[in-house]
Each structure stands twice: as structure tokens, then as C-alpha cells.
Amino acid sequence: MEIGLNHYLILSTLIFALGVIGVLVRKNAIIIFMSIELMLNAVNLAFVAISHFTGNIDGQVFVFFIMTVAAAEVAVGLAIIITIFRNRQSVNIDDISILKW
């Protein structure tokens, strides 16, 4: 059996769905950031698969930019989480009210 584009897109959809479930269900901010990264990687997989099967390099260029934005998001997000943890001693989303007015 040959692995085709549909297989990659189904895998990408499943990984993206796991990331959405992680964002919606979990209360830990670090787990939520990991779920967001999982969703971004699922999109990257879809872009690379489509790029490979169409013979066009545009999808791989998008992946490069998505990875750059994801790295910046991780750096800023973890800095915010560390700052909140130092102030509140918790990374539980329910306990974080420091950003509210």
C-alpha cells in the first residue's frame, strides 16, 4: 500500500484535533502552549505534504515562517508564564486573574 496525500492530511487532521482538545480541556498553561504547538505542527505537516505532492515549494516556505512565529510565541509565552508563576505560584488558568482589569 502506497502512502498518499490523503494519509498525510488525515494524520494532520488527527494531530490538529488532539491539539484543539488539549487547548479546550486542560487547565495548565504550559500544556495549553504545547497543544498550540501541536496544532501548528499539524498545519506544517499538511503544508509540507501538499507541497511535496504538488511539486510546488510554496508550502515549505510557509512552514519556515510558521516555525519562526512558533519559536517567537514559545519564547514570549514561556516568559509570561514564568512571570505569572513567580507572582501567583501556579500556572493553572483558573488561578490566573492577573491579566483581568
- Tell me, yes or no, whether 100 lies in a domain: no
Give me the pLDDT at residue 81, please. Answer: 85
- Tell me, yes or no, whether 101 lies in a domain: no
Give me the pLDDT at residue 9, please. Answer: 96
Provide the number of structural domains found in the chain: 1
- Tell me, yes or no, whether 52 lies in a domain: yes
- Tell me, yes or no, whether 37 lies in a domain: yes
Q: Is 28 helix (H, G, I), strand (E, B) or coil?
A: strand
Give me the pLDDT at residue 98, please. Answer: 60
β-bridge mates for residue 92, sequence order: 28
- Tell me, yes or no, whether 99 lies in a domain: no
- Tell me, yes or no, whether 33 lies in a domain: yes
Give me the pLDDT at residue 45, please. Answer: 96
Decide: 15 and 41 in contact? Cβ < 8 Å: yes
Domain assignment of residue 64, given as a range: 5-92
- Tell me, yes or no, whether 63 lies in a domain: yes
Give me the pLDDT at residue 80, please. Answer: 86
Give me the pLDDT at residue 97, please. Answer: 65
Tell me the CATH number at 15.
Answer: 1.10.287.3510
Give me the pLDDT at residue 23, please. Answer: 94
- Tell me, yes or no, whether 74 lies in a domain: yes
For the chain, 101 residues long, the average pLDDT of each consecutive 10-residue run is 92 97 91 93 96 92 92 89 83 70 56
Q: With 0-12 CB in 10 A as exposed, 13-18 as middle and 19+ as buried, what is 82?
A: exposed
Retrieve residue 27's grid coordinates. Answer: 487547565
